Structure 1
Amino acid sequence: MTKHKIYTMSFASVYPLYVAKAEKKGRTKTEVDEIILWFTGYSQEELEAQIEKQIDFENFFTEAPALNPSRALIKGVVCGVRVEDIKEPIMKEIRHLDKLIDELAKGKAMEKILRK
């Protein structure tokens, strides 16, 4: 089975799109980073290093220090697909992160986005 194209895309190529989406709606890069750090367990320095070395999406998630167990609480639709129904693990993580960035752009409070 062939890998999805997104798996081999560099996280660094998509990260600015996450930031732009958030900033367009009055949110900040700091909030985007907070979401990514909460979700993956990376430190700010580790996140910046992953971006700098152009790591692909698949390895970005497989190398994540500690995927947050509360990510299982993320529900909803992204790109027409219900995230809780996605079976493939890496795709599920990618779509979970997409959903969190969407929630940020829609003005949801950080406490709710981070499932506190």
Structure 2
Amino acid sequence: MGNAPHTSYHDDPSVDELVNETIGRVADKWTLLIIESLEEGGTRRFSELGRTLPGISQKMLTQTLRQMEREGLVVRTAYPEVPPRVEYSLTDMGRDLAEAFCGVWQWAERNIVQIEQARAHYDRRQARK
């Protein structure tokens, strides 16, 4: 790197807006858990995907998958069968995002004891107030 010029997109307001908007959409709990489920299990049917996500409602699963499809993270494949079969899989971009978030999980695993200690310390301080 040294003295090499650094290209920054921070100076472009349209890029900043896109990054902020995209992070807001993809960094929510359900999106991350859906990505994890599809990364670990590969292509899944809607109902199978829902079973891997305890606590998600059918409505929230539908909304999240639609948003992920819009963002280019998943592909929805509907088969003309009776009953209808719909499957979801990660796109290359979705797999890239899964890889990026893998670092967050690894960080959490490495730091879980410290995080729990910090939370307990904070909660004790708040209880004394």
Question: TM-score range, shorter-chain basis?
Answer: under 0.3
TM-score (norm 2): 0.26
Structure (1 or 2) with the larger CA radius of gyration: 2
- RCO (CA 8 Å, sep 6+): is it higher in 1 or 2? 1
TM-score (norm 1): 0.28
Greater share of strand: 2
